[in-house]
Amino acid sequence: MGKIGFTTTVPVEVILAAGLIPADLNNIFITGADPGDVVDRAETLGFPRTTCGWIKGIYLSAKEAGITDVVAVTQGDCSNTHALMELWQADGMNIMPFAYPYDRDRDLLRLQMRKLMDALGTSEEKTDKVFRELAPLRTKLKRVDEMTWKDGNVTGAENHLWLVSASDFDGDRDDFEARLDAFLKEAEKRETAPTGRPGAGLPAVRLGYIGVPPIFTDIYETAARSGAHVVYNEVQRQFSMPHDTDNLYEQYARYTYPYDVFGRIRDIKEEIKLRRIDGIIHYCQSFCFRAIEDLIVRRELKLPVLTIEGDRPGPVDARTRIRLEGFVEMLRDMK
Amino acid sequence: MIRCGMDLGSRTVKLVLDEDGEITLKRSFDTAAFYREFWKSNDGELRVDTARLGLPESGLTVTGYGRNAVKVKGAQVISEVKAHCMGAARQTGLDDFVLLDIGGQDTKIARVSGGRMENFMMNDKCAASSGRYIENMCGVLQMPLDEISRHFENPARLSATCAIFGESEIIQKITEGTPPGEIAAGVNLSVVKRVLPMLARFPDGPIVFAGGVARNKAVTYFIKERTGREVIVVPEPVYNGAIGCAYL
């Protein structure tokens, strides 16, 4: 075991405490040379066309990156992961299941995390030490987020990239922190908000992005070209563990993504108010169960919501683009 | 003052001239033919040849699917959904309504309140509820569009999960001996069934119906029947987007 792959965010402190390299398979897949080709090849192997692009992508990406040990999240993500881990197992890979308890039961969560520590050969003491070491880095990520919505000198795309990378710190937390320091230094000096506001006099529309990270490669740029500033990335922010707690287990109990949608909605509502958001983009991956949760999202959020669906990696398609442009135009007219 | 609206749609391009509040010209072109004839490349940019079309130098507003691909000199560009809301407001004189636009590929639903668009939805990744679906079914049934739109009695049950698979479903109905009129009614109803969940998201106010499919009387009938709401078909459904552009 050198690199430990995982299917969605897991307590990265455990992997680091074991002296291993964390590898978020989603990041490996989407930042690869040709993620669209990976999906095509997974379909050639027999993955149904009508299933999640992320699952198809990470299946082959893990194998091609030579990863043999994977922490697979069996509860708190989706049931497609079950079939994925079984397929990897059939291929001879070492799979360690990890389950976030649906009801946030603290005892069960602690048990799951301890089992992961045992599986990776580390201890609670060592993991807690890493948790404390990471605190300054997590504070810097909170600063990136604050500069996005409060100061306006970090773009929605930059916010997305830094926060989404916090699941594995790109495999090297020291290098990640050094790059983050340099970024913050540069961004703090920026004078004007790089919101991509086209033309003079148009008010920038403040968008919130909720749902899983996009499979589209240029959605933030597309929004910026339409004159919108994405000031909130819900799940990416959760990946950065912005929760004010000095307890490792509590951090993962407050993490909203793997639990019920109502906890997510409470978090989203608070951030909408704080960040003065005009409208919400709800991203759903094609064929994902979360498209059903869109019903609750729309019922609960009292501001315009545009639901967009992405299937395969690549730039935003023409139809999604015209819908996004229309949405931003409407929000601008409403201001 | 002359104002011009242009709707670069997926199936047809629509042009409207408005002189001091009066529509003085309406023209429609097949989309592919329009681009062949009135498109020119200028310094690597594709532009519509407005001079050849005899359009005014100023006061031009463009919308439609093609607006991102083609530049129209001096034109203001607005989204389709806004154009259709403006067109519906102008054609009906209403300030509070739910717009339903069913075009060649798109279905758009928007809530307009106090003359301002408040929210909207569009179909995604599937055109099984669009005008093109009905056109395809005309081909299979060998029935003209006007004829298909008359049928609403005893609709045959069609799943219409896909505009292409729908064709084989119809052929099966024909071989089973289902009368063509009942299949046509089934086609019209299947379009409406696709639209109902979107309409249910905006349950208040009259429905203002625009787009080419608004000329289909059976579709209008089914929308009224299934929603129990008032449905107003705009006088010029096909030109609604272009009229909205000229209204700005």
Q: Is A275 on the interface with B (CB under 8 A)?
A: no
How big is the A-B interface in CB pairs under 8 Å?
45
Structure tokens given for B16: 């409207």
Angle of the B131-141 helix axis to the B180-200 helix axis, nearest 10: 170
Residues of B in contact with A309 (CB under 8 A): 124-125
pTM: predicted TM-score of the whole model, two decimal places: 0.87
CA distance B206 to chain A (A): 21
Cα–Cα distances in angstroms (integers) from residue A165 to residues A8, A108, A134, A135, A220, in the given order? 12, 27, 14, 16, 16
Between A163 and B77, the higher pLDDT residue: A163
Q: Is A320 on the interface with B (CB under 8 A)?
A: yes
Strand-by-strand arrangement of the A279-285 sheet: A228-233, A205-211, A279-285, A305-310
What residue in B sits closest to A321 (Cα-Cα)?
B68
Residue A154 near residue A220 (C-beta atoms within 8 A): no
Instruction: Report residue B43's pLDDT band, with 50, 70 and 90 as the boundaries.
Output: low
Q: What is the DSSP letter of A18?
A: T
What integer pLDDT is reported at residue A235 of this predicted model?
Answer: 98
Q: Which of A178, A186, A177, A201 is nearest to A155 (CA)?
A: A186
**A309 with B81: Cβ contact below 8 A:** no
Helix and strand element counts for chain B (H, E): 9, 12
pLDDT digits (tens, 9 = 90+) for A21-73: 999 999 999 999 999 999 999 999 999 999 999 999 999 999 999 999 999 99
Q: Determine the Cα angle at B229 with ends B85 and B216, to 5°.
A: 65
pLDDT digits (tens, 9 = 90+) for B120-159: 988 766 777 788 889 889 999 999 999 999 999 999 998 7
**DSSP-derived 3-state class of residue A302:** coil
Residues of A in contact with B111 (CB under 8 A): none
**A308 with B124: Cβ contact below 8 A:** yes
- Please provide the average confidence, as pLDDT, over all residues in chain A: 93
Would you say how long chain B is, in residues?
Answer: 248
Instruction: Report residue A199's pLDDT band, with 50, 70 and 90 as the boundaries.
Output: very low
The ipTM, to two decimals, is: 0.77
What integer pLDDT is reported at residue A193 of this predicted model?
Answer: 56
**A333 with B116: Cβ contact below 8 A:** yes
**B81 with A330: Cβ contact below 8 A:** yes
Is the model's pLDDT at A173 over the cut of 70? yes
Cα–Cα distances in angstroms (integers) from residue B202 to residues A291, B81, B91, B98, in the given order? 19, 15, 21, 7
What residue in B sits closest to A328 (Cα-Cα)?
B79
What integer pLDDT is reported at residue A201 of this predicted model?
Answer: 44
CATH 2.60.40.150 fits B2-80+242-247, yes or no: no
Percent of chain A whose pLDDT exceeds 90: 88
Cα–Cα distances in angstroms (integers) from residue A3 to residues A20, A38, A120, A133, in the given order? 6, 21, 11, 20
**B82 with A319: Cβ contact below 8 A:** no
Q: Is A198 on the interface with B (CB under 8 A)?
A: no
The beta-carbon neighbor of B119 closest among A304, A308, A318 is A304
Instruction: Report residue A197's pLDDT band, with 50, 70 and 90 as the boundaries.
Output: very low
The beta-carbon neighbor of B78 closest among A320, A329, A334 is A329
Structure tokens given for B26: 């309406």
CA distance A325 to chain B (A): 7
Is the model's pLDDT at B46 over the cut of 80? no
Cβ atoms within 10 Å, residue A89: 13
Residues of A in contact with B78 (CB under 8 A): 329
The beta-carbon neighbor of B79 closest among A318, A326, A334 is A326
CA distance A317 to chain B (A): 10
Residues of B in contact with A319 (CB under 8 A): 122, 124-125
The beta-carbon neighbor of A330 closest among B82, B124, B201 is B82
**DSSP-derived 3-state class of residue B227:** helix
CA quadruple B100, B103, B106, B108: dihedral, nearest 10: -10
What residue in A sits closest to B117 (Cα-Cα)?
A330
Domain ranges of chain B: 2-80+242-247
**A326 with B125: Cβ contact below 8 A:** no
What integer pLDDT is reported at residue B232 of this predicted model?
Answer: 98
Alpha helices (H) along chain B: 31-38, 50-53, 80-92, 131-141, 145-148, 165-175, 180-200, 217-227, 240-247
Q: Which domains does chain A have, with CATH numbers?
A: 3-125 (3.40.50.11890), 131-334 (3.40.50.11900)
Residues of A in contact with B124 (CB under 8 A): 308-309, 319-320, 323
What's the average model confidence in pLDDT over B194-223? 94
CA B209, distance to chain mean position in Å, is: 9
B→A interface, C-beta within 8 Å? 65, 68, 78-82, 116-120, 122, 124-125, 201
Residue B182 near residue B154 (C-beta atoms within 8 A): yes
**DSSP-derived 3-state class of residue B8:** strand
